[in-house]
Amino acid sequence: MAGLKELRNRLESIKSTQKITSAMKMVAASRLRKAETMLERNRPYSEALATAIKRTNAAIRAEEAEKKIIYMPPALLRQKSNAQKYLLLVFSSDRGLCGSYNHNVAKTAAARIRELTAAGKDVNVVCYGKKAFNILKKQYADIITENFAGAGAQDLSYTEALEVKGKITSLMQENDYDVCEIVYSRFYSALSREIKARQIYPIASEIAESTAEEDQNLLRVGNAYYDYYPDKISLLEKLLALWAENSIFAAVLNAQASEQGARMASMDNATRNAKDIISNLTLKYNSIRQSAITTELTEIISGAEAL
């Protein structure tokens, strides 16, 4: 009967764990829906912002061609040919129980660090999230300059994204970095995501580029032309600053959605595994119990026959 008691205790323990993993799955699913909704709402803004940048830059090119002059591009678009100092921002989570999500983020960050150092670049790392920090510090503790709590741990707001951008701007100015890159998880679905490294400073020139045919469509709508105030360069600088802010916001949204998607899938697998274990243990428990009952009945019948 000692075996029955042990099985009964184990069954109760696994059932309790199953309830916890099932609840965590539902919480993750709820947070994932919120993150997906915010991503969907942010997409039209990102597209409109990209169009405004292309339109303003097209107007600047048209004015340069007309006046035979060349404007100095905004600082956010100036690519350094001899960039030496790199700042790498790594976005992960503060909590685990989300499968291989954090490990994959840290793995991609480590690969990028090795790539840059092999090219002779100076690299410093800033971690947003404890998990990637705990993994990376084992090999790269000497180049990790800051470690912040994970951005968007609960419900990300644009204000929080501005705070992140403010910290990044301060670090860039204080240390005179040439390039800033982010390592984050691009979200596609609850089961599909891609860990990638992307440059956010200076902004990739492709953001502002367009073909001659596109320029014609961008510079006028029907018979109406666009006007710019106070001037095209100042407006472009403002739009690029907004693009940088929104890039960080979108990256953290993607990271948050990826984390919750990974956690939901992980907890779903854990719940299914617990169900299988409970089924097997219940079968084993019933088998042992039936055997014990049969043995007791045999003993009773044998005793009765002896009398």
Amino acid symbol at 120: G
Residue 160 confidence (pLDDT) above 80? no
User: For residue 114, what are its two tokens?
Assistant: 């090795």
Indicate the DSSP class of residue 59: H
User: For residue 62, what are its two tokens?
Assistant: 């048209």
In whole angstroms, give the CA distance from residue 296 to residue 43. 70
Residue 156 confidence (pLDDT)? 66
120-125 LR contacts (CB < 8 Å, sep 24+): 121/83, 121/84, 121/85, 121/86, 122/84, 122/85, 122/86, 123/86, 123/88, 124/85, 124/86, 124/87, 124/88, 124/175, 124/177, 125/87, 125/88, 125/89, 125/90
Convert the pLDDT of each residue in 15-28 to its tens digit: 999 999 999 999 99
User: For residue 38, what are its two tokens?
Assistant: 């915010």
Mean pLDDT of 60-83: 84
Query: Is residue 213 within 8 Å of 59, Cβ to Cβ?
Result: no
Query: Is residue 196 within 8 Å of 265, Cβ to Cβ?
Result: no
Domain locations along the chain? 2-30+264-306, 36-262
Q: Which H or E run contains 122?
A: strand 122-128
pLDDT greater at residue 294 or residue 141: 141
Helices (H), 141-180: 158-175
Confidence of residue 306 (pLDDT cuts 50, 70, 90): low
Contacts of 128 (CB under 8 A, 6+ apart): 89, 90, 91, 92, 148, 149, 150, 151, 164, 252
Residue 302 confidence (pLDDT) above 90? no
Same fold, 2-30+264-306 and 36-262: no
Residue 285 confidence (pLDDT) above 90? no
For the chain, give the number of residues: 307
Amino acid symbol at 288: I
Mean pLDDT of 240-260: 89
In whole angstroms, give the CA distance from residue 226 to residue 219. 6
Residue bearing tokens 């916890």: 20
pLDDT greater at residue 122 or residue 166: 122
In whole angstroms, give the CA distance from residue 44 to residue 125. 32
Residue 154 confidence (pLDDT)? 55
Count Cα neighbours of 65 within 13 Å in the Cβ-side half-sphere: 8
Residue bearing tokens 């299914």: 272
User: For residue 169, what are its two tokens?
Assistant: 């701007």
Mean pLDDT of 178-187: 91
- Average of per-residue pLDDT values in the chain: 86
Residue 293 confidence (pLDDT)? 75
Q: What are phi and psi of 148, to 5 degrees?
A: -110, 160
pTM exceeds cut of 0.85: no
Residue 304 confidence (pLDDT) above 80? no
In whole angstroms, give the CA distance from residue 232 to residue 217. 18
Of all residues in the chain, the percent with pLDDT exceeding 90 is 34
Judge: domain 36-262, CATH 3.40.1380.10: yes
Residue 212 confidence (pLDDT)? 72
Please give the CATH superfamily to which domain 2-30+264-306 belongs: ATP synthase, gamma subunit, helix hairpin domain (1.10.287.80)
Convert the pLDDT of each residue in 5-57 to its tens digit: 888 888 899 999 999 999 999 999 988 898 899 889 999 999 999 988 988 88
Mean pLDDT of 72-89: 86
Convert the pLDDT of each residue in 69-79 to its tens digit: 888 888 888 88
The residues facing 182 across adjacent strands are: 89, 198
Contacts of 110 (CB under 8 A, 6+ apart): 136, 139, 140
| Cis, peptide link before residue 74, omega less than 30° from 0 | no
Confidence of residue 266 (pLDDT cuts 50, 70, 90): very high
Residue 220 confidence (pLDDT) above 80? no
Query: Is residue 266 within 8 Å of 32, Cβ to Cβ?
Result: no
Number of other residues whose CB lies within 10 A of the CB of residue 64: 12
